[in-house]
């Protein structure tokens, strides 16, 4: 049984807060009521915001929650937010959390931290090989795998990364059935791939199919940023 809503309710009551005080402007208090009664699910990004706003450690909250899939999603969401905000200390805190046991995802967070301090070249070959072997051993890439790929494209050689992108763009096409999170991950993979191409001075005409794939992704608000960034890259390329 999914008890995350029950845990959230117990947390709110322990803080002596009304639903309105607890959510502020993040979500509607009536929606929180449905979450607390386990009638509605809560997205990881929303949960992280609620906990941060109320000065509650996400890592401490995770200890009381046994669902591995949800733990991974929340840990990944925290890492993504820290990386986007260039918060090295937050990534260090995640790495120091010994209660989170997924070794592969922790290695990716290591790489994210190294990228922020411009030390990604020091990311060991052994760690790269570990992540690659994990991805190759999986029959079907779930959201955790897609998150790993989105944040660790640097571990692949040029021909390997093009193969990964080609596989994703030909396999993940049933957009209407995908959650917002999966759509977000696919968009992040494309944007990060293009950023990597620009960094390595790879001619974008060689990878122009990714623009078509990005255009096919549904126009959901959750990927507005990625769509805008890719469109800007494409316009600059056309103006050359």
Q: Could you say which of 37, 56, 75 is where a domain stops? A: 56
Look at residue 221 and tell me if it is in a domain: yes
Query: Does 140 fall in a domain?
Result: no
| Percentage with pLDDT > 70 across the chain | 94
Two tokens, residue 120: 């990604």
Q: Can you say whether residue 27 is alpha, beta or left, with left for phi > 0 and alpha for psi between -120 and 50 degrees?
A: beta
Asked whether residue 105 is domain-assigned, the answer is no
Secondary-structure percent of the chain, ordered helix, strand, coil, rounded to 5: 70, 0, 30
What's the domain count of the chain?
2
Burial grade of 120 (CB within 10 A; 0-12, 13-18, 19 or more): middle
Domain termination site, one of 41, 56, 71: 56
The per-residue pLDDT for 225 is 95
Q: Express each pLDDT in 134-179 by its tens digit.
A: 998 888 899 999 999 999 999 999 889 999 999 999 999 999 999 9
Give pLDDT, residue 236. Answer: 82
In a domain, 11, yes or no: yes
On whether residue 131 sits in a domain, the answer given is no
Worst-scoring range by mean pLDDT, 41-45, 178-182, 221-225? Answer: 41-45
How large is the C-alpha radius of gyration of the chain?
Answer: 19
38 within some domain = yes
Q: Given this model, what pLDDT does residue 1 score?
A: 39
The CATH number covering residue 51 comes to 1.10.260
CA 124 – CA 109 distance, rounded (Å)? 14
Separation of alpha carbons 87 and 90, rounded Å: 5
- At 108, the pLDDT band (50, 70, 90 cuts) reads very high
| Residue 137 within a domain | no
Structural domain contains residue 172: yes
- Residue 65: what pLDDT? 61
Q: Containing domain of residue 161, as a range?
A: 156-240
Give per-residue burial for 125-163: e unless 16+ CB within 10 Å, then b: eebbeebeebbeeeeebebbebbbbbbbbbbbeeeebbe
């Amino acid at each position: 049984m999914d008890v995350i809503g029950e845990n959230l309710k117990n947390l709110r009551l322990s803080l002596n807060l009304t639903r309105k005080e607890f959510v502020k402007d993040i979500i509607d208090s009536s929606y929180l009521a449905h979450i607390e009664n386990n009638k509605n699910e809560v997205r990881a990004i929303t949960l992280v915001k609620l906990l941060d706003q109320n000065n509650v450690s996400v890592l401490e909250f995770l200890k009381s929650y046994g669902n591995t899939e949800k733990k991974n999603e929340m840990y990944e969401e925290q890492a993504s937010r820290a990386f986007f905000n260039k918060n090295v200390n937050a990534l260090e805190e995640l790495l120091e959390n010994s209660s989170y046991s997924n070794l592969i995802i922790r290695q990716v967070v290591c790489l994210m931290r190294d990228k922020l301090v411009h030390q990604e070249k020091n990311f060991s070959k052994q760690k790269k090989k570990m992540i690659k072997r994990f991805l190759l051993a999986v029959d079907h890439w779930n959201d955790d795998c897609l998150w790993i790929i989105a944040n660790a494209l640097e571990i692949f050689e040029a021909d390997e990364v093009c193969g990964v992108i080609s596989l994703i763009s030909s396999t993940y096409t049933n957009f209407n059935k995908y959650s917002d999170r999966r759509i977000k991950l696919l968009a992040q993979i494309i944007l990060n791939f293009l950023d990597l191409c620009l960094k390595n001075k790879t001619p974008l005409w060689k990878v122009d199919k990714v623009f078509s794939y990005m255009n096919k992704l549904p126009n959901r608000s959750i990927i507005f940023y990625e769509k805008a960034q890719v469109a800007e890259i494409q316009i600059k390329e056309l103006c050359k």
